[in-house]
Structure 1
Amino acid sequence: MYERKIIDRRLLADLAKEVGLNASHLEALGESRQWEIAVDGDMLERLVDIQHRFERLAAMGDDEYRGFYIEVPRPTPEEWGDVEELIAFGEYDSREAFLADWLAFNSMETRWFHVASNRYVDSRSIRVTDRKRISFIITNDSKCTDAEPDNTWCRENLTRLFNYLQRMIDVVVSNSDGFNDYVAHNLPYQQRTGRIAQKVFNRIVPNFKIEVEDREMAIKALEESVHWHSAPLLETMTIRKYCTYYRIANEVYEAYHRKRGFRGRIYTDPQDVPEELRDVVYYKRKKFGDVMEMYDIYSPEDFMRFATDHYGELGLSRLNILASNVQPQGWKIVVSNSYSSNVGLAIEVATALYKAGTPLLIYDAEKLLKILLEEDYVRLLPDSFHNYMGYQEEGTVYELPWKYECSDDSNSVLTKEQYQAIVSNVEWQEVEKLRAT
């Protein structure tokens, strides 16, 4: 039996130092191996051995899932680089410059990662992630053809990690309650999930509030869509008709981004094109497809052939303007938003179409209305990149910056006071607990 010890930061750091493991080794594995590292031979033997050790913990999910957080120290300046050699090669002009860079790249004394073991039939894997930017899987069942750890640094880092996990599992099993308690009180907020009332969050961070140009009309458009009310439906749909609605939406999309500093030319109708065809020409310019050459733009049958893939996406936003046949009544134009970051844009686009008398259906209208009325919640997540609205109950999400990134400086994303107000008002989810068998 492993001696039961009080679990604290010093103990965990000492375990990592015993095997020469620091955060930079895990970062390197995550950033350089394209997420998947296939192992065989002696490395596969180590993987199997570590998974057997994981079995000293109770299974926590499907496929023999067992997992826990680890906290590892940052590299020392000496581990991060040979300062004398770097100065000799002209990379730095002084030790002070080197240390300033070291601190900038390693701002936190320790880094937290989650380690998960899974096994299904003959497929084995250990996944390591900081739930933000670093993630990699060690597996015997790789889908990548070039994922073999065929270089020395990769094998050395895997060996460090396996040695560390071997020791960590002994510690965790000897004092699972103490470990759970330590993680619950020390895991950074940036790697947790929680939620905060949107009205409270908007009060703390006013520039996060969704503002629209015509609030009254936006509310009306959303309310009508919630109750399935709309302008009279269209009997048929053609490319010619559809392009009119696409243009209304895309012009709002481009104006919205110009206000936020994105560059882009303002489209001007060519004078040699008949009025009847200008929306179709606009669509051609924006979507890079000559629909007039490929289809009969007045044919309902050709519209069905045309309406595939990303025909209605505005830019690369995953905000789509689609035509939907609501049988047997007729056709509606659908506003379908995917990314939570595009909530304000989706409302603006829907409002413009509503004002134009469009027979309109707004997906997630009830959720969008709650956001606009500040009746929703904001979900705090470790990673908000390309977050889809359907991923969670809340319509909007926020990725909390690290505390060291906050200051009263005008360039800071949050002030220290705002940061503290947010974390104090969030309903944090309970951190996953493990249990020894």
Structure 2
Amino acid sequence: MSTVAHPSSTGFERDARLIHGDKPVAPGSIAMGVIIGRMSEFFDFFVYGLGSVLVFPKLIFPFAPSPLAAIMMSFAIFPLAFLARPVGSFVFMWIDRNFGRGTKLTVAIVVLGGSTASIAFLPGYESIGYWSVALLALFRLGQGFALGGAWDGLASLLSLNAPPNRRGWYAMIPQLGAPFGFALASILFGYFVSNLSEADFLDWGWRYPFFVAFAINVVALFARLRIVASPEFGAAMEAQELQARPVFEMLSVHGRDVVLGAFAPLASFAMFHLVTIFPLSWITLHGGQTTSEFLRVQVIGAAVGLVGIVLSGLLADRIGRRSQLMVGAVIIALFSFSAPFLLEAGSTGQDAFIIIGFGILGLSFGQASGVVSSRFGQYYRYTGAALTSDLAWLVGAAFAPLVALGLASNFGIIFIGGYLISGAICTLVALGVTRALDQNR
């Protein structure tokens, strides 16, 4: 099996070593670097997601015939980032192999933060017409393309250091970044929505969370470069456990595992945007409570989701990560029967939908990445886990807000329950197939 030469160091990594020295990095520091990195990525995407409901329908799509049509148009641009993400992974894997992990991360994070911050300067349709739609789509593609390069291997480094009886606990650590990122985005938007008039919010207030994204990405970049420059990471690279492999070479060996891995967390990823972005669009269109009140509830929901993710680590170490994800899929399927009625039950029901939904999401999402990467050997784990994660988000989450709002608006809110059940079925089937394949080995 051939190996690809990998630069042992880059200017960025050498600078990080000069700053931090060659002192060993404690596991806690690795975990913190992982969480900060993931939080910055999710913050970028959640800021955009909230903006796709609260800002873009009025700023970019005022020509739509109805508020529903405006949000649907906004949601049509939402999946572009997920479509661009696998392309970004392909390109940045090449950069990784030829110029080093530090260069790859620096370029990816600058493009990610720059794409998000550029949205803050976006003129509305009233100023430049359809060019505002084109620029929004371009910046959204930039977000996804860059996120494909933000895969740093730190989660795999954690996994490599995990004791056999604590793999579920270590697998859930990277997932903690999601509720932190969502809570921060909701707090920022909630502050401006609560303290500004609608005119001021749509004129300039909404732009500040997008500015903040660039600063957060800079902090996250230094936190990650510190780990990438550490002796532990270097040793793993030398052992060829965290090196980037050519994508097509990996697919020739693990193509089936990539497909199964993309469908295994589908229930969790389908529910992801159904408790974050979709319900905000629903209450914006149909009421029940004010936007600022609902954003506060979503922050509480994120805290509950954080607890659920931690519990998933404890439970997975008892029953296994695959069994934990199967249990989560079953719970999501059961929740799907009550979810539509909660959203239609006024503010109390909507609050229950968010808080319960986030708790269930945390229990399932906490082990999603661990299951995605578990079928790859160390040689292909870095590349395989990155591409599988890209495809899992594309299949499970990219079109969720658009599909859910379209189904609920045209056929009734009950149909979002069917959407969740379909995701749960896909997860159970994929996990069942992987279990059968493992038993036949």
Question: TM-score scaled to structure 1, two decimals?
Answer: 0.20
* Between structures 1 and 2, the one with greater strand share: 1
* Between structures 1 and 2, the one with greater helix share: 2
The structure with the largest alpha-carbon Rg is 1
